[in-house]
């Protein structure tokens, strides 16, 4: 890539990221390429977003998402304002969206529902980035794919096994993996499988890229020959009332040394964090040399910079 600032080709520019499929397959690859470039050349982009201002809206508590977005914006020369709490609780969401559009250049939203993200995009008329909703976590999946590529030197032909709740992270992993030629096996308890329509979309993409999609209730089957074993908390924010019941239901889905032994000898362990040690993963696995969870967390910063450049530069 040339030494000058990256200028997105017309096919790589994006108008928002409400969900994973707002990125085409080519844009997905371009985002990963740019993220790697930005990671290696931080100072080159220090003024790329000079004069740009973004709004960060957080309905849910956040460490990685808030810190990495604030840092990404500022390290690119822009600035942001952050507001926490429910969006639209004091006035209609459509009025909030239209106010923000008069003041800032884009919105980053971490919300309880996908509908909130979609409504912000509909009424604001400015780019909206989904920083997590109940259905998708696209920025996390991008960081995960960058981490895998750095670990194995490629993506196509790898296998990722996800063990646990078929949640927003599982959905975004299915959509990212299938478009990049990464086979994805998801193991959940009965009744906790990922959204059927998202699985169907992933299967269509996989048919074109040569990847395999598997949905199972058997974690051992899922991790066979896997290059990466991934898990997430059993009870996400907003599901606290279900936490005790989920501990019982998910007890056999813990990622521990025994389960990791069924993956490849060079397999890595992945987690989007925060991790509940002793529940979905043991402390020993989290502290093992196989764990790349903190590489994933770092890469959130770099992929989000790439998205911002593709959106606003």
Which tens digit of pLDDT belongs to each residue from 72-84? 999 999 999 999 9
pLDDT confidence of 1, banded at 50, 70, 90? very low
Q: What is the pTM of this model?
A: 0.96
Q: Report d(CA 117, CA 108) in Å as an integer.
A: 9
Of residues 168 and 244, the one with the higher pLDDT is: 168
19, 52, 64, 110: the catalytic one is: 110
Catalytic-residue membership of 80? no
Q: What is the CATH number of domain 20-136+299-312?
A: 3.40.50.1370
CB 198 within 8 A of CB 169: no
Task: Look at strands 128-132 and 79-84 and give their pairing.
Answer: unpaired
Which residue spans of the chain are classified as CATH 3.40.50.1370? Answer: 20-136+299-312, 139-296
- Both tokens of 17, joined, read 């990221």
Burial 161-200 (b: 16+ CB within 10 A, else e): bbbbbbbbbbbbbbbbbbbbbbbbbbbbbeebbbbeebbe
Whether 98 sits among the annotated catalytic residues: the reply is no
> What is 139-296's CATH number?
3.40.50.1370
Catalytic, out of 246, 272, 302, 304: 272
Which residue in 18, 19, 246, 300 is the catalytic one?
A: 300
Residues 274 and 286: beta-carbon distance below 8 Å? no
Q: What average pLDDT does the chain have? A: 95
Q: Which two tokens stand for residue 175?
A: 């959509």
pLDDT tier for residue 235 given thresholds of 50, 70 and 90: confident
Scored b (16 or more CB within 10 A) or e, 24-34 reads eeebbbbbbbb
């Amino acid at each position: 890539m040339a030494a000058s600032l990256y200028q997105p080709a017309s096919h790589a520019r994006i108008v928002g990221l409400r969900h994973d499929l707002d990125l085409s397959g080519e844009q997905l690859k371009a985002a990963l390429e740019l993220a790697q470039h930005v990671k290696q050349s931080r100072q080159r982009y220090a003024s790329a977003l000079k004069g740009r201002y973004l709004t960060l809206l957080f309905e849910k508590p956040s460490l990685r998402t808030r810190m990495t977005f604030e840092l990404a914006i500022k390290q690119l020369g822009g600035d942001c304002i952050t507001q926490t709490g429910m969006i639209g609780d004091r006035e209609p969401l459509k009025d909030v969206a239209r106010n923000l559009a008069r003041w800032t250049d884009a919105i980053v939203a971490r919300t309880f529902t996908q509908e909130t993200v979609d409504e912000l995009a509909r009424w604001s008329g400015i780019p909206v980035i989904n920083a997590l909703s109940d259905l998708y976590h696209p920025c996390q999946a991008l960081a995960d794919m960058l981490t895998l590529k750095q670990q194995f030197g490629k993506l196509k032909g790898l296998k990722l096994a996800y063990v646990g709740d078929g949640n927003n992270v599982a959905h975004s992993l299915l959509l990212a993996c299938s478009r990049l030629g990464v086979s994805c096996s998801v193991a959940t308890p009965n009744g906790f499988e990922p959204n059927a329509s998202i699985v169907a979309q992933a299967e269509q993409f996989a048919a074109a890229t040569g990847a395999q999609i598997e949905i199972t209730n058997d974690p051992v089957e899922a991790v066979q020959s896997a290059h990466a074993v991934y898990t997430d908390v059993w009870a996400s924010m907003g599901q606290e009332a279900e936490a005790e019941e989920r501990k019982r239901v998910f007890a056999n889905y813990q990622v521990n040394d025994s389960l990791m032994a069924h993956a490849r000898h060079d397999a890595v362990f992945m987690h989007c964090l925060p991790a509940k040690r002793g529940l979905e993963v043991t402390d020993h696995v989290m502290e093992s040399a196989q764990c790349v969870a903190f590489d994933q967390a770092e890469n959130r910063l770099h992929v989000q910079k790439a998205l911002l450049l593709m959106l606003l530069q």
